[in-house]
């Protein structure tokens, strides 16, 4: 199975951007990762089993590309996450706080939290995308949730004072 690149771009660009942003923590770098991913899809001579396989492949490529960008020298000169976060609008203040805390998690927790909660992937699917054991994904989800709970509890208790 193979979909036209334009169809793939229209369907998955926002999801790829969100996944890349959770790693790069910089919108310009995330855009670059998405463009590189779509270009790689366009030039790949690969047949996919299903549309779910295409989506998983795209996310894996975007995540890997975002990691590569994060390690590059040039990424240091981009807009910091805090400045970008100020331009976003959230339905509630709690949504904004949650986004802020998720983006401050260590990368290994941030990406599994993103794939599980925002992309609705199962633990098994995340393990396949990230090439990890399912038990590793479950542990990272548990530890990421614990870190979020502690961070949000601190913020809420600070508001009471």
**What are the structural domains, with CATH classification, of the chain?**
1-79 (1.10.1740), 89-161 (1.10.10.10)
Helices (H) and strands (E) in the chain, counts: 8, 0
Average pLDDT over residues 47-75: 89
Q: What percent of the chain shows pLDDT beyond 90?
A: 63
66-122 pLDDT per residue, tens: 999 888 755 555 555 566 566 667 778 777 788 888 888 998 999 999 899 888 999
Q: Is residue 28 within 8 Å of 79, Cβ to Cβ? A: yes
Q: What is the pLDDT of residue 11?
A: 97
Write down the pLDDT at residue 31. Answer: 95
Q: What is the pLDDT of residue 93?
A: 78
pTM higher than 0.85 for the full model? no
């Amino acid at each position: 199975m193979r979909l036209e690149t334009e169809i793939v771009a229209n369907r998955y660009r926002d999801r790829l951007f969100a996944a890349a942003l959770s790693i790069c923590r910089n919108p310009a770098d995330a855009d670059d990762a998405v463009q590189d991913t779509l270009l790689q899809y366009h030039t790949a001579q690969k047949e996919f089993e299903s549309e779910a396989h295409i989506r998983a492949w795209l996310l894996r490529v975007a995540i890997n590309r975002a990691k590569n960008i994060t390690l590059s020298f040039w990424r240091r000169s981009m807009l910091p996450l805090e400045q970008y976060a100020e331009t976003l609008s959230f339905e509630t203040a709690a949504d904004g706080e949650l986004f802020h805390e998720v983006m401050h998690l260590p990368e290994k927790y941030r990406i599994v939290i993103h794939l599980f909660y925002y992309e609705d992937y199962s633990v098994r699917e995340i393990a396949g995308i990230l090439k990890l054991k399912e038990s590793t994904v479950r542990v990272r989800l548990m530890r990421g949730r614990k870190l979020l709970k502690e961070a949000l509890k601190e913020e809420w208790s600070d508001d009471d004072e």
